[in-house]
Chains A and B, each alone.
Chain A
Amino acid sequence: MPPNAIEVRELHKSYGRFEAVRGISFEVKRGEVFGLLGPNGAGKTTTVEILEGYRERSAGEVSVLGFDPDHAGMELKQRVGVVLQTMGFYPNATVRESVEHVAGFYPSPRDVRETIALVGLDGTEDKRARQLSGGQRRRLDLALALVGDPELIFLDEPTTGFDPAARRTAWSVIRRLKELEKTVLLTTHYLDEAQELADRVAIIKNGLIIAAGPPSELTPASASYRVSYDGDGGRVELETDDPTELLHRITSEALARGDRLRNLSVSRPTLEDVYLELTAEEESAAVTPESVPT
């Protein structure tokens, strides 16, 4: 078995003359939760659907559990679960009927009741799909993707439209999948979600990966630490790669003046800061992950 669940090399995808994915490479290790982040139209769905075998790539190498998704058969489908960005099921089927029906396609499915409980739909088993709320429908999507007990799960914006409590439930499902040593490739617009769940993320914009690495190690091109305090003319914000030196300097100066640095804080930029900085740039130079001593 290859060590990586997914390998992507120099993937390109054009729709007519428009190139939506312009040469991206990444790999997802077995048992890893990998996040694809990026603004609308970045190429996330395109990439994921190529890996799922829904779209054909224009160029590049792709391997999913050792298969080429363009030419894979039943065996790959039995081992992969898919939540698409938009997908439906029979509106007049109940939750239980839907999950049972899909379970029948797999050689060794999960228990239907347990799957429904896993996604937090217990109590709605006899409701028809069309009576479900948007968030509940999304949970049904998740249940239908998981009922075959796949080892690799693709989740394209799995929590869009969820209320905060439902997002927590979904997160705990994804953590549970990780405990079960499943591999998860997830796309999301929610940075806290990526930070919370993903072992590694890739930020993609205009069809290119502009940063990749563990969320905690992604740093903005500018600086790694932000020091701020209330000065005379308002809040003072300083950025530095060496907070020790900076703090020593400004605190000594303050003491010498007999001053106080009110509301002094030192913060690491969040993934959100990195994301906003990277995706806002006009022409984004590729940024490599840079590890930061903690």
Chain B
Amino acid sequence: MSTTATLAWREFRFQRRMFWRNPTAAFFTFVLPVFFLILIATVFSLKQSDLNQLVPGIAGMAVMSATFVSLTYNLVFIREQGILKRIRGTPEPMGSYFGGVISNSIWNAILQVVIIVVLGHVFYSVPWPQDWIELVVITVIGVAAFASLGIAMAQAIPNFDSAPAYVNAIFLPMLFISGTFYSTDHLPRAIAAIASALPLKHIIDGLYGALVSGKGLEHHVPAILVLLGWCAIGLFLAVRYFRWE
């Protein structure tokens, strides 16, 4: 067990190094959510109540893009390049390998939530988190749900070239119905129902609760259950359909 953990840590550091080795990709991973935040806040000259909605929305988007989008691309890439197959022929425990690869995405998600929260406070007068525990719990569960869905998604994608098509077909619509950029209070009923069944809205609502309204975790029990449900579905599909090559 201890060697599995040591090797996972080693793999994580290696994955971080490889992540920064491609500076343009790394730059966009971090800059895109910030860019959206500034652009939307400026173009629509939002009032404070809208900004209070936008900052958790962008933080939620960052969680999804770091885990669901980037992790999916990464997994398809390492499979297509034959890296997965090579690793499988070495004695590196699979737990260490995937631990390192997944933690890399999770670490990006956490860094981005921190960046967005700090920017939101400094530039857009969004209060400091009202409920730190809620912030941590929602981020962790949200990351777990989208990471496991990302691993499952990667199994359905035939090759790296087609990965953006598959991923964006899910990512973009989910952004628009989940209250990322604006409040979803006035969505048509059917669409609101779909959004409530999907994970992103619950992450954004949870982050809003943690950052702005200060309503405690006890108000987010159904949301947490939905997220844990997606996490379980993702894990099940990921394990059931895992492909090495």
Q: A residues within 8 Å of B by Cβ?
A: 52, 54, 74, 77-78, 80, 82, 84, 86-93, 97, 101-102, 104-106, 128, 144, 148
Q: B residues within 8 Å of A by Cβ?
A: 7, 10, 14, 17-18, 21-22, 81-83, 85-86, 88-93, 244
**In angstroms, how far is the closest chain B Cβ from the Cβ of A206?**
24
Partner of B83, one of A74, A77, A88, A148: A88
Contact of A106 with B89 at beta-carbon distance under 8 Å, contacts A86-B82, A92-B21 already known: no
How far apart are the CA atoms of A121 and B7 in the complex, in Å?
Answer: 26
Do the beta carbons of A88 and B91 come within 8 Å of each other? no
How far apart are the CA atoms of A291 and B14 in the complex, in Å?
Answer: 54
The tally of CB-CB contacts under 8 A between chains A and B is 57
**Which A-chain residue is minimally distant from B86 (CB atoms)?**
A87
Q: Which 6 A-B pairs have the closest CB atoms?
A: A88-B81, A92-B21, A87-B82, A88-B82, A82-B89, A77-B91
Inside 8 A of A84's CB, which chain B residues have their CB? Answer: 82, 85-86, 89
Inside 8 A of A93's CB, which chain B residues have their CB? Answer: 14, 17-18, 21
How far apart are the CA atoms of A78 and B14 in the complex, in Å?
Answer: 21
Do the beta carbons of B89 and A54 come within 8 Å of each other? yes
Do the beta carbons of A52 and B93 come within 8 Å of each other? no
Do the beta carbons of A77 and B90 come within 8 Å of each other? yes
Inside 8 A of B93's CB, which chain A residues have their CB? Answer: 74
Do the beta carbons of A90 and B83 come within 8 Å of each other? yes
Do the beta carbons of A101 and B91 come within 8 Å of each other? no
Partner of B91, one of A91, A97, A148: A148
Do the beta carbons of A148 and B89 come within 8 Å of each other? no
Inside 8 A of A87's CB, which chain B residues have their CB? Answer: 82-83, 85-86
**In angstroms, how far is the closest chain A Cβ from the Cβ of B74?**
11
**In angstroms, how far is the closest chain B Cβ from the Cβ of A96?**
12
**In angstroms, how far is the closest chain A Cβ from the Cβ of B152?**
23
How far apart are the CA atoms of A112 and B183 in the complex, in Å?
Answer: 56
**Which B-chain residue is minimally distant from A79 (CB atoms)?**
B91
Partner of B18, one of A74, A86, A90, A148: A90
Contact of A105 with B7 at beta-carbon distance under 8 Å, contacts A77-B90, A148-B91 already known: yes
With A52-B89, A54-B89, A77-B89 known, 17 other A-B pairs at CB within 8 A are: A77-B90, A78-B91, A84-B82, A84-B86, A84-B89, A87-B82, A87-B85, A88-B82, A88-B83, A89-B81, A89-B86, A97-B14, A104-B7, A104-B10, A105-B90, A148-B90, A148-B91
A interface secondary structure, majority: loop
**Which B-chain residue is minimally distant from A85 (CB atoms)?**
B82
**In angstroms, how far is the closest chain B Cβ from the Cβ of A134?**
14
How far apart are the CA atoms of A86 and B7 in the complex, in Å?
Answer: 25
How far apart are the CA atoms of A89 and B81 in the complex, in Å?
Answer: 7
A-B contact pairs, 9 of them (CB 8 A): A52-B89, A54-B88, A54-B89, A82-B89, A84-B86, A86-B82, A104-B7, A104-B10, A105-B7
How far apart are the CA atoms of A86 and B82 in the complex, in Å?
Answer: 7
Contact of A92 with B22 at beta-carbon distance under 8 Å, contacts A84-B86, A104-B10, A105-B7 already known: yes
Contact of A92 with B18 at beta-carbon distance under 8 Å, contacts A52-B89, A84-B82, A84-B86 already known: yes
Do the beta carbons of A105 and B85 come within 8 Å of each other? no
How far apart are the CA atoms of A105 and B11 in the complex, in Å?
Answer: 10
Inside 8 A of B91's CB, which chain A residues have their CB? Answer: 74, 77-78, 105-106, 148
Inside 8 A of A144's CB, which chain B residues have their CB? Answer: 86
How far apart are the CA atoms of A86 and B17 in the complex, in Å?
Answer: 25
Contact of A54 with B21 at beta-carbon distance under 8 Å, contacts A104-B7, A104-B10, A148-B90 already known: no
Inside 8 A of A102's CB, which chain B residues have their CB? Answer: 90
Among B7, B88, B91, which residue has the most Cβ atoms of chain A within 10 A? B91
**In angstroms, how far is the closest chain B Cβ from the Cβ of A164?**
26
How far apart are the CA atoms of A101 and B21 in the complex, in Å?
Answer: 16
**Which A-chain residue is minimally distant from B80 (CB atoms)?**
A88
**In angstroms, how far is the closest chain B Cβ from the Cβ of A237?**
47
How far apart are the CA atoms of A1 and B7 in the complex, in Å?
Answer: 30
Do the beta carbons of A105 and B92 come within 8 Å of each other? yes
Do the beta carbons of A91 and B88 come within 8 Å of each other? no
How far apart are the CA atoms of A91 and B78 in the complex, in Å?
Answer: 10
